[in-house]
Structure formats: C-alpha cells, structure tokens
C-alpha cells in the first residue's frame, strides 16, 4: 500500500558523475509526518532488485521504496548525497 503523500512535494534526486549516466530516484513527502520516502526503479537501469527490498513497497510508476529520510526539512544537495551514498552501498559493482 502506498502512503498518502503531499501533492506538491516531490523531488527528482540523482547521482551525477562525469562520464557516467545520470541515475535518478523520486522522493515523496508523506502527509502524516513529513518524512520523505525515496523510490527507485531498478529495472529502468538494468539493476537487480536486492532481496531485502519488499514487493509490497513497489509503486508501479516509480519503482521500489529504498529508504525513508526522517527529516521534514532537507535540501536538494543533502537528498542527492543520501541517494548517491545509498547507490554506492547497495549497487557498488556499478557505482562504487
């Protein structure tokens, strides 16, 4: 089940490195606590979904929920850094 999100609060966050393709995820701000859920479409980038990712956390349009950022107030740079670190830790064979 997809939680309720604020209609106007979502970001396209990314991993941006010279000579590498841009990898993006989408972050949505939740209505109940204003935390951010980050969704990533593994298939779009030819990546295998890790076994610890739950099928019920899949949102067809955006992929799987990969993390929740427990901060209501966060800037784009910090969100990009969190996503880049997640990629390096969880898909290090491609981004390490």
End-to-end CA distance of the chain: 32
Residue 46 is part of which domain span? 5-95
State how many domains the chain has. Answer: 1
Question: What is the structure's pLDDT at 3?
Answer: 67
Distance of alpha carbon 54 from alpha carbon 11, whole angstroms: 22
Which residues does residue 69 pair with via DSSP β-bridges, in sequence order? 36
Question: What is the structure's pLDDT at 81?
Answer: 94
Structure tokens, 90: 């969880």
Structure tokens, 47: 């990546």
Distance of alpha carbon 80 from alpha carbon 60, whole angstroms: 22
19 against 45, higher pLDDT: 45
pLDDT tier at 22, thresholds 50, 70, 90: confident
- The distance of Cα 28 from the centroid of its chain, to the nearest Å, equals 9
* pLDDT, tens only, 35-92: 999 999 999 988 888 888 888 889 988 999 999 999 988 998 999 999 999 988 887 6
Question: What is the structure's pLDDT at 44?
Answer: 92
């Amino acid at each position: 089940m997809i939680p309720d999100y604020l209609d106007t609060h979502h970001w396209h966050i990314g991993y941006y490195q010279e000579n590498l393709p841009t990898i993006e995820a989408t972050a949505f701000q939740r209505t109940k606590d204003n935390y951010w859920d980050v969704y990533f479409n593994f298939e779009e980038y030819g990546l295998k979904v890790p076994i610890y990712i739950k099928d019920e956390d899949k949102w067809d349009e955006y992929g799987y929920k990969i993390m929740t950022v427990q901060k209501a107030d966060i800037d784009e740079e910090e969100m990009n850094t969190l996503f880049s670190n997640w990629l390096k830790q969880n898909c290090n064979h491609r981004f390490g």
